[in-house]
Structure 1
């Protein structure tokens, strides 16, 4: 299957919040259902780096590496006797308007282009990963301090649930859904020591998520990431 996009996704921070499933149902693409872990529906505030991005193998001049921040939730779809587990993006933020336009056009996603920046500090024992994005003149922040030694995810853990989703689903409208495949190996994670989140969820993602600005996440994760590939084939459901 031809790859549309290849890149590295690196230093992925996931701040995971359990929410009322009724908040997510209006956003649910047709043909999918919410993927629940231990009785909870989760949304994740995610920050990471796109590095060495290529479209059909061709480097993207001046825009191959950039920050992305997104809010996503988890769904599944029954196909040929097995579950396809995927994510739905409420919004994805990147610094380049052309990247947002292409993604919205081809995959009907919900990208916006606003200023972003990042800082990474690493030594032999610890690391500090910072992502920032500017909305309505104010810088939001997602920062994590973690060990420098990675470990494998435990089978059946919340970390495995959050990270092991390999499909993207987009709600085009009430009757149309786009499905696409995202390929990457299982990731290793780092023990987390400290987190700082300053996010205006209401301004970024709408009134339904505004209350998350005042909540502590249920869990925080940092994954190393890997090379990834987004397949060109898009299934219309």
Structure 2
């Protein structure tokens, strides 16, 4: 069910800071989401993240996450979504950073299904989008690209009634950093809190060639499923 924009904007008690005062620019939906979280060595991770971004930690632990989902209804404010551009599958590899005390995420890799969408997203956001062929069904996700290979088969299990502090730290993130400019400010996003479910993997083959020494991708420390969120984003 699509929520009214005003309902999303007025649901703010879960946020660590207020939403921006100026108007949002992008609307998008992140649907049918699989989270796979991995604890990693901070020294190795430090080599992969620009120095002006501080590595964020939870109880002294450093983490990266693979997030596979379907991006839906992407469009600027006062326009409407165009199906062949605004709906596509995506997989990203992200880690957790802070800048001037503001926590967010930094993307090590983003794979997207459609060529035109990938080119536009890279230009509009400055994020490391790359085209990869992705196939998705209700319970599977397959990708074979230049940077990674993914084969996932899963089942959604019970809803997580009480989200732990670690789960909140890993999922409730409202700033995106490009990492290209030491003077950059964050790209702010907003959505209602994630509705998280346990997930069981029937198959999990996951490989990022550039990060084999960083992560054992076949064995996530934590994993979640979510039906998704409606997202507002600011320039």
Give the TM-score, by structure 2 length: 0.80
Q: How does 1:137-152 map onto structure 2 within 5 Å?
A: 140-147=150-157, 149-152=158-161
**Which residue does 2:31 correspond to in 1?**
10
Q: Which runs of 5+ in 1 are unaligned?
A: 121-128, 233-237
State how far apart, in whole Å, the 2-side matches of 1:169 and 1:11 are.
24
State how far apart, in whole Å, the 2-side matches of 1:221 and 1:195 are.
14
Check the 8 A contact 1:131/1:141 in 2, yes or no: yes
Check the 8 A contact 1:171/1:178 in 2, yes or no: no
Q: 2:112 pairs with 87, 94, 100, which one?
A: 94
For residues 2-47 of structure 1, what are the alpha-carbon distances to aligned partners after superposition, in whole Å with 9 as ceiling and x for unaligned? 3332121112111111111122223334543111112210010110
Secondary structure in 1 matching 2:84: coil
Q: 1:164 pairs with 160, 163, 172, which one?
A: 172
2:219 matched to 1:216?
yes
Q: How does 1:18-167 map onto structure 2 within 5 Å?
A: 18-56=39-77, 57-78=79-100, 83-120=101-138, 129-135=139-145, 140-147=150-157, 149-156=158-165, 158-167=166-175
* Residue 178 of structure 1: how far off its partner (Å): 4.8
Change (3 A) 1:211 1:84: closer
Check the 8 A contact 2:126/2:178 in 1, yes or no: yes
**Higher strand fraction: Structure 1 or Structure 2?**
1
State how far apart, in whole Å, the 1-side matches of 2:137 and 2:116 are.
24
* Residue 213 of structure 1: how far off its partner (Å): 4.8
For residues 57-83 of structure 1, what are the alpha-carbon distances to aligned partners after superposition, in whole Å with 9 as ceiling and x for unaligned? 3313412211100100001233xxxx4
Secondary structure in 2 matching 1:38: coil
**Which residue does 1:198 correspond to in 2?**
205
State how far apart, in whole Å, the 2-side matches of 1:69 and 1:181 are.
20
State how far apart, in whole Å, the 1-side matches of 2:232 and 2:152 are.
25
State how far apart, in whole Å, the 1-side matches of 2:141 and 2:97 are.
26
Change (3 A) 1:196 1:5: farther
CA RMSD of aligned residues (A): 2.4
Change (3 A) 1:154 1:139: closer
Change (3 A) 1:106 1:178: farther
Q: Which sits farther off after the overlay, 65-74 or 190-199?
A: 190-199
**Which residue does 2:188 correspond to in 1?**
181
